[in-house]
Amino acid sequence: MLSRTADNIYWLARYVERAEYLARILEATQRLTALPLAYTGSTNEWESAVATAGCTGAFYKTYAEANEDTVTDFLAFSTVNPSSIRSCLEIARANARAVRTALTTEMWDVINGTWLDLKRFGSGPFTREELAQFLRWVQEESLRFDGSAYRTMLRNDAYWFSRLGLLIERADNTARILDVKYHLLLPPQQHVGGPLDYFQWAAILRSVSALTSYRWVYRESLKPWLVADLLILNDQMPRSLASCYENLVRFLDLIGRAYGRQGPPQRLARAIRTRLENSRMEDIFQKGVHEFIGDFIADNNRLGSAIAEQYLT
């Protein structure tokens, strides 16, 4: 297929995933800030949200202070921020329009419909209820898009590039959540923090829709080292780094087989997955969660570049 088409499909998937991720972050932050300070500690949660979205630099160019109004505006509705929910959906739709022939009717219908509906939301100001509704809507539309891709696309290279985009973005997003909150993710020996952090861990899990899953996997009350385990190493959990990489390797292999050759993307993905497979939480804590995640984010970006260089240009 045309490189540019593959590029558009790849980024279309990334932007839709990113929009959903931002919606989850904002929703989780809204919940957290609704709790009395005694339960959440003294962190500026809105500032954390911006950090989790990876936009701190850009944010402070536009706003002096991180609070509910400025952050929701910047992350959800801003036309100035290219990574706001609104911008993500606009770019996604533009990408989709550029490669309509590669999408199924259902996929186009969802993404175009989402874009048309987006206009109706206007630019605020929004009440908390309206914001909550908006965030719900974004997540639903993202699910519909993913679902329509999964259910209607032919299993060929177009589909696989779409999955690659989604997975790279998802891995990056999960890693960022962990990175911002790493100081909360403590090994079993340390008992500093205690009950105050419960709501923080719950918020992390909520933002990857894993709160209930946690209990089914571990059958225990929330423990920070298990939260870390769930999101990094557990391959049952669809948003975990391990799960993302298992699938990245799989789809890159399918592409490699279809095209009759393997390259740097396949090798790199396998290397990263192997590292995850061979890791144990004890070792990660020893090295330091923050360092581990930092390395992972860099590797993930490297894989993105390798894919772009091999296939998308």
Partner 1 sequence: MAAFDEMRGLDGNVRPAYGFLADWLDGVSPDALEQRRREAELLFRRIGITFAVYGEAEAQERLIPFDVIPRVLAAPEWDLLQRGLEQRVKAINAYIADIYGAREILRAGVVPEELVFQNPVFRPEMNGQRVPHGLYVHIAGIDIVRVDAETFYVLEDNTRTPSGVSYMLENREIMLRLFPDLFARHRVAPVENYPDELLATLKSVAPSTASADPTVVLLTPGVFNSAYYEHSFLADKLGIELVEGRDLLVKGDIVYMRTTEGPKRVDVIYRRIDDDFLDPLAFRPDSALGVPGLMSAYRRGHVTLANAVGTGVADDKAVYSYMPAIVKFYLGEEPILKNVDTWRCRDPEGLAYTLDHLEELVVKEVHGSGGYGMLIGPKADKTTVAAFRDKLKADPKNFIAQPTLALSTVPTCVAAGIAPRHVDLRPFVLTGRDRIRIVPGGLTRVALEEGSLVVNSSQGGGTKDTWVLDR
Q: Residues in the site for partner 1, rule: CB under 8 A?
A: 1-6, 94, 97-101, 108-109, 112-113, 116, 157, 161, 255, 259, 311-313
Least CB distance to partner 1 at residue 156 (A)? 11
Which CB, 107 or 293, lies closer to partner 1? 107
Taking the C-alpha atoms of residue 296 and residue 277, their distance in angstroms, rounded to an integer, is 13
Taking the C-alpha atoms of residue 271 and residue 268, their distance in angstroms, rounded to an integer, is 5
Least CB distance to partner 1 at residue 98 (A)? 5
What is the CA 42 to chain-centroid distance, rounded? 25
Least CB distance to partner 1 at residue 86 (A)? 17
Measured in residues, the chain has a length of 313
Q: Per the structure block, which two tokens stand in for 247? A: 């699938």
Residue pair 196/158 in contact (Cβ under 8 Å)? The answer is no
Q: Residues 6 or more apart from 147 whose CB is under 8 A from it?
A: none
From residue 54, give the alpha-carbon distance in Å to each of 25, 28, 72, 83. 12, 16, 14, 9
Which CB, 39 or 115, lies closer to partner 1? 115
Least CB distance to partner 1 at residue 308 (A)? 11
Q: Return the residue matching tokens 């299993």.
A: 155
Least CB distance to partner 1 at residue 113 (A)? 7
Which CB, 113 or 238, lies closer to partner 1? 113
Which CB, 127 or 313, lies closer to partner 1? 313
Which CB, 117 or 283, lies closer to partner 1? 117
Which CB, 157 or 179, lies closer to partner 1? 157
From residue 208, give the alpha-carbon distance in Å to each of 9, 20, 111, 150, 183. 24, 10, 22, 20, 18
Half-sphere exposure of 64 (CA within 13 A, CB side): 0
Taking the C-alpha atoms of residue 136 and residue 134, their distance in angstroms, rounded to an integer, is 5
Residue among 244, 249, 270 nearest 14 (CA): 244
Least CB distance to partner 1 at residue 110 (A)? 11
Residue pair 198/43 in contact (Cβ under 8 Å)? The answer is no
3 φ, ψ to 5°?
-55, -40
Least CB distance to partner 1 at residue 148 (A)? 14
Which CB, 98 or 217, lies closer to partner 1? 98
